[in-house]
Amino acid sequence: MSLDEPAAGGILYVVATPIGNPADLSPRALEILGGVDLIACEDTRRTGAMLAAHTVRKPLLSYFEHNEERRIPELIARLKGGARIALVTDAGTPGISDPGFRLVRAAHHAGLRIAPIPGPSAMAAALSIAGIPTDRFVFEGFMPARGAARRRLLDELASERRTIVVYEAARRLAETLGELAEALGAEREAAVVREMTKTYEETARGTLGELAARFAAREALGEVTLVIAGAAAARPARAAIEVEMLVEAGLSLKDASALVARIEGTSRREVYQRALRARASRA
């Protein structure tokens, strides 16, 4: 869609911006940002600095999680009045694990035009270099920080067969890797992708157990994306039989489940629950 194309009402441009390296701003994104009437952004200082690096000056309006409810009616009114507005986030593609989708949804409901200006995405970039299957994947964004919601999600992910992508704060990385190793199995393959496109970019691959130990021993800095292999093809009946054979050989149900989980590369909790369900079905 051309910037100069006439429209009934305005146009909302959803513009992807660099996740680190400023050279990753596309020529088309730069053209759009230089031609709109207003830029709605997560942090006016960060977006202002990015624009200044490209000698672009435009009015900026803050739009983030805690002011979106009052900003959306204002932005929709401007769009209805014919304004051309660009929506950007601090880094990457708006609407991916940020409140941008709410403005996009409101624009759809108002019958306005919306145009994507594609570009960088931490999720896609991490998947592309993790060396873990990408034919099917699930994006979880930021996990709940703690509590019951976090435990429920870990339980759900234990049996997820698709590759899993998670964003995490660097200060919680070691703790999160440890919890993932416990819930999904220490032998599950994973990658920690950190500071993508920046000077100290790092990709660390290994099992969840190895990565948990590695980042427990040293502090991680910067933005972090985790890519985790999905659970192996489900073998519930066989796993339950293997657990029972080990129990008959003298192991406790807990220890037998842990051993089978290690062999499968899945969660001890999941194998334990399978064994309990198998026992209940025979009762």
> Could you give the CA distance from residue 184 to residue 204 in angstroms, rounded to a whole number?
18
Helix axes 173-184, 148-158, angle to 10 degrees: 50
Distances (CA, A) of 26 to 15, 46, 54, 69, 126: 10, 18, 11, 30, 19
Q: What is the DSSP string of 100-126?
A: HHHHHHHHHHTT-EEEEE----HHHHH
Q: Domain segments of the chain: what residues?
A: 11-120, 123-228, 236-282
* pLDDT (0 to 100) of residue 44: 95
Please answer whether residues 188 and 181 qualify as being in contact, where contact means their C-beta atoms are separated by less than 8 angstroms: yes
3-state secondary structure of 268: helix
pLDDT 10s digit of each residue in the chain, 283 long?
A: 444 444 457 999 999 999 999 999 999 999 999 999 999 999 999 999 999 999 999 999 999 989 999 999 999 999 999 999 999 999 999 999 888 999 999 999 999 999 999 999 999 999 999 999 999 999 999 999 888 999 999 999 998 999 999 999 999 999 999 999 999 988 899 999 999 999 999 999 999 999 999 999 998 999 999 999 998 744 555 677 888 889 899 989 989 888 888 776 667 887 888 788 777 766 6
Taking the model in full, what pTM does it have? 0.78
According to the CATH classification, is domain 11-120 in 3.40.1010.10?
yes
Give the class (CATH, top level) of 123-228.
Answer: alpha beta
List the strands of the sheet with 60-62, edge to edge.
Answer: 60-62, 38-41, 84-87, 11-15, 113-117
> Could you give the CA distance from residue 70 to residue 183 in angstroms, rounded to a whole number?
40
Q: How far is CA 219 from the centre of its chain?
A: 21
Please answer whether residues 246 and 259 qualify as being in contact, where contact means their C-beta atoms are separated by less than 8 angstroms: yes
**218 exposure class (CB count in 10 Å sphere: 0-12, 13-18, 19+):** exposed
Task: Identify the CA nearest to 231 among candidates 174, 269, 198, 280.
Answer: 269
> Could you give the CA distance from residue 75 to residue 98 in angstroms, rounded to a whole number?
17
Close Cβ partners of 251 (under 8 Å, ≥ 6 residues apart): 259
Task: Identify the CA nearest to 63 among candidates 12, 113, 27.
Answer: 12
